[in-house]
Amino acid sequence: MTLQQTDTCFAYPPTRMPAWQIGPVNIRGKTFLAPLAGVTSLPFRRLVKECGAAVVCSEMISAKGLFYNSEKTLSLLAACPEERPLSVQIFGAEPDIMARAAAEITSMGIADILDINFGCSVKKVIRQGAGAALMNDLPMSRKIIQAVRRATSLALTIKIRSGWDPSGSQAVALVDMAEKEGVDAVVCHPRTATQGFKGYADRDLIRKLKDQTALPVIGNGDILTPADALEMLNQTGCDAVMIGRGAMANPFLPGQAEALISRGVSHPVTASDIFRKMERLIQLYVGHFGEMTACRMLRGRLPWFVKGMPGCTGIRASLSRISTTKQAIALIRDYEYRLSL
């Protein structure tokens, strides 16, 4: 059985792309795994990297949490050399605290890129004046970027939304300012802060930003197939794409998109590929979190992988209740055997 068939589309030159730069960092490839709170922990990032993503991103890290040495915040900074280049994202509303977080992460030597979150629209973050709230406050955004720029020698990126109204004028102003203040690249998820995930990402805004700035622009939003990634590049002229929800459901997606973009080839994924990656994810989670926590977390992850497969209801329900990894692997093997009959 072949899942996730790709449309073969050769609009993009079918050649290996040369490395390109974000600040001092060499980037080999065009696909980024998005920061996803509660998802892009070290084991998940490693899996997606092993499946071919060019760059992976940590989930957002609270600058204040780091300032107070919160154990939970520190645990989110677990990283490893195999996943590099790694982008670590911070969020916060106070320039000095953001600068301290930037300096601390830089001195840890785990990251290549430091990203500032200007896009998160969840109430808890907005109420602090952080995330997308900053898109309403250009002077404060400037202070934060200046403070962080001074505090780190890492490549510095910003991840933004369209702003608070659909015109995109706040995004345009923010990118203009950021370029002058020494930011090295921009990621844009072109939905408004109030839109959440409703409607569609406005690709015209990505095109507009690309025309406006000399900085690399990474386009994000609604990439669910390799063909979507190629289309985003072709329609907007962006330098790379960032994939979030599509990679949660299919960790192969960034790698599949990479194959299509760089070599013009579709890279179908078989059911057996998926089962082996599920087992790899189990191994990575156990290695990082220990068996008990890994099982608790995997209950929410493993069912994503088999969604859409024939007769998956039973295995999805069973995977969401696992209490040992042995049980999870037995479920996967049994389901694989039944599919092969």
Could you list the active site residues? 120
Distance between the two ends of the chain, CA-based, in angstroms? 12
From the list 39, 97, 260, 315, which residue makes contact with ligand FMN (rule: CB under 6 A)?
A: 39
47 is a site residue for ligand FMN (CB under 6 A): no
Pick from 281, 295, 217, 204: nearest CA to 248: 281
267 is a site residue for ligand FMN (CB under 6 A): no
Helices marked H in 243-290 — which ranges? 245-249, 253-263, 271-289
User: Which range of residues in 239-247, 252-260, 282-290, 312-320 is near ligand FMN by CB under 6 A?
Assistant: 239-247
Q: Assess contact for 254 and 33: CB atoms under 8 A.
A: yes
219 is a site residue for ligand FMN (CB under 6 A): no
126 is a site residue for ligand FMN (CB under 6 A): no
120 is a site residue for ligand FMN (CB under 6 A): yes
246 is a site residue for ligand FMN (CB under 6 A): yes
302 vs 331 by CB, closer to ligand FMN:
302
Q: Give the Å distances, CA to CA, from 143 to 21, 100, 120, 335.
A: 25, 14, 19, 55
Pick from 310, 269, 225, 244: nearest CA to 9: 225
Compute the least distance from the CB of residue 192 to ligand FMN, in Å.
13
159 is a site residue for ligand FMN (CB under 6 A): yes
From the list 28, 84, 207, 245, which residue makes contact with ligand FMN (rule: CB under 6 A)?
A: 245
27 vs 39 by CB, closer to ligand FMN:
39
From the list 189, 267, 277, 301, which residue makes contact with ligand FMN (rule: CB under 6 A)?
A: 189
Using CB positions, name the residue nearest to ligand FMN.
244
User: Which range of residues in 44-52, 115-123, 210-218, 290-298 is near ligand FMN by CB under 6 A?
Assistant: 115-123
119 is a site residue for ligand FMN (CB under 6 A): yes
163 is a site residue for ligand FMN (CB under 6 A): no
Residue 112: partners with Cβ closer than 8 Å, 6 or more residues away: 25, 84, 85, 86, 87, 154, 155
For 187, list phi and psi in degrees, rounded to 5.
-105, 130
65 is a site residue for ligand FMN (CB under 6 A): no
231 is a site residue for ligand FMN (CB under 6 A): no
Pick from 251, 315, 228: nearest CA to 3: 251
Pick from 286, 258, 206, 191: nearest CA to 56: 258
From the list 4, 31, 117, 170, which residue makes contact with ligand FMN (rule: CB under 6 A)?
A: 117
In the chain, what are the helix, strand and coil shares in percent, each to the nearest 5?
Answer: 50, 15, 35
31 is a site residue for ligand FMN (CB under 6 A): no
The C-alpha atoms of residue 257 and residue 264 are separated, in whole angstroms, by 9
221 is a site residue for ligand FMN (CB under 6 A): yes
**Three-state secondary structure string covering 195-232:** CCCCCCCCHHHHHHHHHHCCCCEEEECCCCCHHHHHHH
61 vs 269 by CB, closer to ligand FMN:
61
From the list 83, 184, 222, 239, which residue makes contact with ligand FMN (rule: CB under 6 A)?
A: 222
24 vs 199 by CB, closer to ligand FMN:
199
Q: From the CB of residue 12, how many other CB atoms can be counted at a distance below 10 Å?
A: 18
Beta bridge partners of 201: none
The binding site for ligand FMN (CB under 6 A) comprises 34-39, 59-60, 89, 117, 119-120, 159, 189, 220-223, 243-246
